[in-house]
Amino acid sequence: MSDVPILLEMRSITKEFPGVKALSDVNLVVRAGEIHAICGENGAGKSTLMKVLSGVYPHGSYSGQIVYQGSESKFSDIRASESAGIVIIHQELALIPGMSIAENIFLGNEPRKRGAIDWKAANRMALDLMARVGLQEDPDTLIKDIGVGKQQLVEIAKAFAKDVKLLILDEPTAALNEADSRHLLDLLRGFRSRGITSIMISHKLNEIEAIADQITILRDGRTVETLDVKADGVDEDRIVRGMVGRELSSRFPDHTPKIGDVFFEVRNWNVRHPISADRQVCKNESFVVRRGEIVGFAGLMGAGRTELAMSVFGRSYGVYESGTIIKDGKEIVLKSVADAIDNGLAYVSEDRKAIGLNLLDDIKTSTVAAKLSKIRHHGVLNEVEEYQAAEAYRKELRTKAPTVDEGVSKLSGGNQQKVVLAKWMFTDPDLLILDEPTRGIDVGAKYEIYGIIQRLADQGKGVVVISSELPELIGLCDRIYTVFEGAITGEIARADATPENLMKQMTSTKKMATR
Amino acid sequence: MSRLKDLQKNLFGGTTSNARQFGMIFTLVAIVLIFQVWTNGLTLRSDNLIALFQQNSYILILAIGMLMVIVAGHIDLSVGSVAAFAGILVAKSMTEWDLPWPVAILFGLAIGAIIGAWQGFWVAYVGVPAFIVTLAGMLLFRGGNQFIGNANTIPVPEGFREIGSGFLPEFGPNTGYNNATLLLGLAAAVAVVWRELRARNTRRAMDADPAPMWVSILRMAIMVGVIAFATLRFASGRVGTSFPISGIILLVLVIAYSFYTRNTAGGRHIYAVGGNSRAAELSGVKLKRVNFFVMMNMSVLAALAGMIFVARSAASGPQDGNGWELDAIAAVFIGGAAVAGGIGTISGSIVGGLVMAVLNNGLQLEGVGTDKVQIIKGLVLLLAVAIDVYNKSQGRFSIIGSLMRPFRRDDPAAPVSPPDAEREPAKAAVSG
């Protein structure tokens, strides 16, 4: 392929956020007319790189060079990159549901005649664009009335309306069913034959293998390698190796598990999506947790791990369909979060700021928030007990804050997470479900949180850890379930767990017995 | 320097001094003093203070309920109409169905509860925004009032009028003052001292240093001084007048609701829902119940306010309660509540309400027309909130929210506001 001209070259891109180096010295070379896939684990820096490219992070906020069509580009915002023909289609579609297909295609880019929108021209052009992406609908149809697969096509048509030269697709098939995915991939092939270059970010390695010409693999914000699919004979295993190939150093405290009997069990758990009732987010899932055991849930984003956890936690997500929960040999029915808390469950959410904490609160108020009954006597909350409880956890978890009167919004991510952990430890749970417990936390704080998790397990509690970082799961968990598209696809004991076999099961529906 | 800093830190607030409320209290003091000078001493005269309370007690009662509604992230536009609706039904129940007035009061509260349940149902269980539900309620119950009363005025009997225009009774030896008011003032002073000492103990029990003793003493002295001043003013009015009954009702409600919002799980849940409803839900808070409760509670208080107004004006009419919702909402926001919910205090709302009341009263004493009074009130509301927004955007006093929580011990006292904002034993003004 080296004879094909280079369309885009990103040279030693480095992008820093306060405290985190999201990208360091990343290089990317995309040749005209190819489909270039970017692979990497969650947090490897794929989206950040694309945001640098599309001007979301303007020139000057990163270091390095973007050479596009032979000259250096300094995009100040998305408009600048779009006018150069670079269009990004995000995973969450940016369409307005109450507007028509034509209106959406030309949103912000409306064809005008004497100041007014020329709807006749808009509809005619929309039909033309829709034909190019193989979308057969009336341009007056509202977005909310078409399926997500067709919505994706509208997004692409929208990109064509802007005269796209380089199309970037972030997880384009994540929300699509198989038929729609196949159609989309065919479409991309069609674009390639017409000379349109695409960059595609995807977790679905089989799709990448099938469609990509080149693959660039990112890991921890660095470029690992760029593979030529045909020349290098790349297959899924090869990609996985590149994605996870980091050594597992001692990033975890030493721990000898003291595992007891099974005390918590979920059987044949079925849950539907809260809005689109035909989507099943939990498909007949079953799992067990033993006392003193740390159980991991591995899966890609959107695999349905959070949905499983939250639906178990008092049906706080989705529409419950069927399934039973057995705790200490008895079936329990948890219809609300309050039921779940009363039955000794705790759920530390994946998004601390959005749903884990009330950022207006201070540390002590947050600490007791999930079990006010513990500090309530005759209906009155005891402020001294509240203070003492919060102070005890502050010391135990070594939360860095001057006093427990400090507002949680002022704390760092790691310390906020400790407050959330304290909040749930205060409820005296038997089973703690920790959803991405170390997301957005620096390495030192991660180590401390691992220690806390291990101590909780040693107290005889069951701990479920959901994480997108495979090394974390392998380093911390005694047993790992893999989840793919709402179903549990495997169960791997710690001794057998490798990033490769986890990744394999996380990306395929084929059930493999590795026990 | 350090003494001054200590004073600043500890006199009205805690380590994280409550800047907004602090500011409002000083605004209130300033307004009172300005009008006191401008009106040649008319503002703080006994009869004027008494009238001020009688005229505004119902708005302040509404502000209590409105604070909880706004903290939970809603709004209630229907309070004026609900007050009028309950008022006309209560008036009718006494004049036409001959209900004895105490029963009629209970009847009125029950009406409030039913209306509140109706509105709460739509807000909490159907999910219609409170703005819409109460906008509908505003029309519905205004129309209801005029339908039931035939747009006529219905007078109410003597006994009932007490709750709006009555005063503490005269008894005991002739001291030249109203003895009941003196006793009330004494009780308030004792409560203030007791609260301060208790708060110091609480602080110690937390292994934290209480404010320096001299600060506590200064604070107590100021508050007792204000109480003494107010007590003597209220007790020395025209014979037959003293501290108004409606003021007593307000006082009891302020104390009870401050305690509820600060020291009970139910109160805390309201703040949790307003602060982050999803986080609250995932902490086991029953969202629907909380939303239902605040809406229902608001209508009960609106019914009470309506009855007090009817009692004061001796009759229920078709225009009762017009525009009350705006006064109550303004009081709450001037008192430091956040539009987005989660932040605000009962005492702050009372101070906010008093700022508006004193402004109103002083301008009227000076013969300023209602047209100009409205213009000034509008600007005050805008300015108060704008200053807050500006300060926040400058990061001046960090997250105002964390400063305004009602259950923090550093909640400031209201040192110069008239006595009702003072006498809540629950509102411990300790520093940290």
Encode pLDDT of A313-369 as tens digits.
Answer: 999 888 999 999 999 999 999 999 999 999 999 999 888 888 888 888 899 999 999
B270-280 pLDDT per residue, tens = 999 999 999 99
Chain B residue with CA closest to A338: the answer is: B284
Interface test mutation site (partner A, options B9, B16, B204, B206, max chain A beta carbons within 10 A):
B206
Q: Could you tell me if B374 lies within 8 Å of chain A, comparing CB atoms?
A: no
Among residues A244, A272, A303, which one ends one of the domains?
Answer: A244
Quick one: closest CA in B to A316, which residue?
B282
pLDDT in tens, A88-123: 888 777 888 888 898 888 887 788 888 888 888 888
pLDDT value at residue A297: 94
- Tell whether A243 lies on the interface with B, counting CB pairs under 8 A: no
Distances (CA, A) of A18 to A13, A254, A412: 17, 30, 11
pLDDT of residue B237: 79
**How far apart are alpha carbons A249 and B404 in whole angstroms?**
46
Indicate yes or no: CB of B276 within 8 angstroms of CB of A357. yes
Residue A54: inside a domain: yes
Instruction: Assign residue A442 the CATH number of its domain.
Output: 3.40.50.300
Residue A465, in any domain of the structure: yes
Q: Establish if A514 belongs to a structural domain.
A: no
Residues of B in contact with A410 (CB under 8 A): 398-399, 402
Residues A269 and A230 in one domain: no
**Min CA distance, B19 vs chain A (Å)?**
16
Q: Tell whether B260 lies on the interface with A, counting CB pairs under 8 A.
A: no
Q: Which residues of chain A have pLDDT under 70?
A: 1-2, 18-20, 42-43, 245-250, 440, 442-444, 509-515
Contact with chain A for residue B392, Cβ under 8 A: no
Residues of A in contact with B343 (CB under 8 A): 360
CATH class of B18-33+46-166+245-421: mainly alpha
Asked if residue A415 is part of any domain, the answer here is no
* Residue A403 is assigned to a structural domain of this protein: no
- A165, A197 in Cβ contact below 8 A? yes
Which domain does A65 fall in, by range? 6-244
Please indicate whether, in this complex, the C-beta atoms of B206 and A405 are within 8 angstroms of each other.
no
Residues B102 and A424: their CA atoms lie apart, in Å, by 48
The better pLDDT of the pair A246, B218 is held by B218
**A347 touching B, CB under 8 A?**
yes
Kindly tell me the number of DSSP H helices and DSSP E strands found in chain B.
Answer: 17, 2
Phi, then psi, of A343 in degrees rounded to 5: -90, 15
Candidate from A393-402, B167-176, B365-374 with smallest mean pLDDT: B167-176
Query: Is B201 near chain A, with CB under 8 Å?
Result: no
B236 touches chain A (CB under 8 A): no
Inter-chain CB proximity B405 and A362 less than 8 Å: yes
CB-based contact (8 Å) between B4 and chain A? no
Instruction: Return d(Cα B120, Cα B113) in angstroms, integer.
Output: 10
Interface ipTM above 0.90: no
List of chain B residues whose C-beta atoms are within 8 Å of the C-beta of residue A347: 282
What pLDDT is attached to residue A293? 94
- Give the A:B interface size as CB pairs under 8 Å: 112
Contact A358 B268 (CB under 8 A): no
Nearest by CB to residue B401, choosing from A355, A360, A383, is A360
Phi, psi of B149 (to 5 degrees): -90, 5
Q: Which residue of A has its CA nearest to B399?
A: A360
Cβ atoms of B297 and B77 closer than 8 Å:
no
Most B CBs within 10 Å, among A351, A361, A362, A391, to test the B interface: A361
Q: Is A384 part of a structural domain of the chain? A: no
Count of the separate structural domains present in chain A = 2
What is the rounded distance in angstroms from the CA atom of residue A181 to the CA atom of residue A167?
17
pLDDT, tens only, B40-85: 888 888 888 888 888 899 999 999 999 999 999 999 999 999 999 9
Distance from the B208 Cα atom to the nearest Cα atom in chain A, whole angstroms: 10
Interface subset of A 362-391, CB within 8 angstroms of B? 362, 365, 369-373, 376, 379-381, 383-384, 387-388, 391
- What token pair was written down for A159? 């990109």
B262 min Cα distance to partner chain A (Å): 9
Which residue in B has a C-alpha nearest to residue A392's C-alpha?
Answer: B206
Please list every residue in chain A whose beta carbon sits closer than 8 Å to the beta carbon of residue B281.
Answer: 316, 337
Domains of chain B, by residue range, sit at 18-33+46-166+245-421, 168-243
Chain A, 160 to 189: residues with Cβ < 8 Å from chain B are none
Single-letter amino acid, residue B340: A
Say whether both A28 and A145 belong to one domain: yes
User: Are A240 and A267 in a shared domain?
Assistant: no
Please say whether the dihedral angle defined by the alpha carbons of residues B368, B372, B376 and B377, taken in this order, is positive or negative.
positive
Cβ-based contacts of A371 with chain B (< 8 Å): 284
Instruction: Mark whether A273 and A226 lie in a shared domain.
Output: no
Interface test with A, best of B264, B283, B288, B409 (most A CBs within 10 A): B283
Q: What is the pLDDT of residue A137?
A: 86
A509 Cβ under 8 Å from any chain B Cβ = no
| Contact partners, residue A200, CB within 8 Å, separation at least 6 | A35, A36, A37, A38, A168, A169, A172, A188, A208, A211, A212
Q: Would the pLDDT of B9 be above 70?
A: no
Is A235 found in the same domain as A162?
yes
Q: Does residue A338 sit at the B interface (CB-CB below 8 Å)? A: yes
CA torsion angle A99 A100 A103 A108 (round to 10):
40
* Mean pLDDT, chain B, whole residue set: 82
- Closest listed residue to residue B223, CA positions, set B423, B6, B13, B4: B423
Nearest CA to A336 out of A315, A322, A319, A321 is that of A315
CA-based nearest distance A310→chain B, Å: 9
Q: Which of A149-163, A474-488, B247-261, B381-395 has the lowest mean pLDDT?
A: B381-395
> Is pLDDT at B171 greater than 60 in this prediction?
yes
Residues A54 and A202 placed together within one structural domain of the fold? yes
**Structural domain contains residue A320:** yes
Cβ atoms A472, A438 nearer than 8 A: yes
Q: Which of A306, A381, A383, A423 to mutate to test the interface with B (most CBs of B within 10 A)?
A: A383
Q: What pLDDT is stored for residue B3 in this prediction?
A: 59
Same domain, A28 and A123: yes
pLDDT at B19 (0 to 100): 52
Q: Tell me, what's the pLDDT at B420?
A: 35
pLDDT tens digits for range B287-346:
999 999 999 999 999 999 999 999 999 889 888 989 899 999 999 998 888 888 888 899
A281 with A322, same domain: the answer is: yes
Query: C-alpha angle A378/B407/B384, rounded to 5°?
Result: 145
- What are A372-404's pLDDT values in tens digits? 999 999 989 988 899 999 999 999 888 888 888
Q: Note whether A361 contacts B405, CB cutoff 8 Å.
A: yes
Q: Is residue A364, in this structure, part of any structural domain at all? A: no
CA closest to B278 among chain A residues: A355
- The closest alpha carbon to B77, from B316, B295, B274, B261, belongs to B295
How close A215 gets to chain B, by Cα (Å)? Answer: 40
CA atoms within 13 A on the CB side of A447: 8
B271 touches chain A (CB under 8 A): yes
pLDDT exceeding 70 applies to what percent of chain B? 85
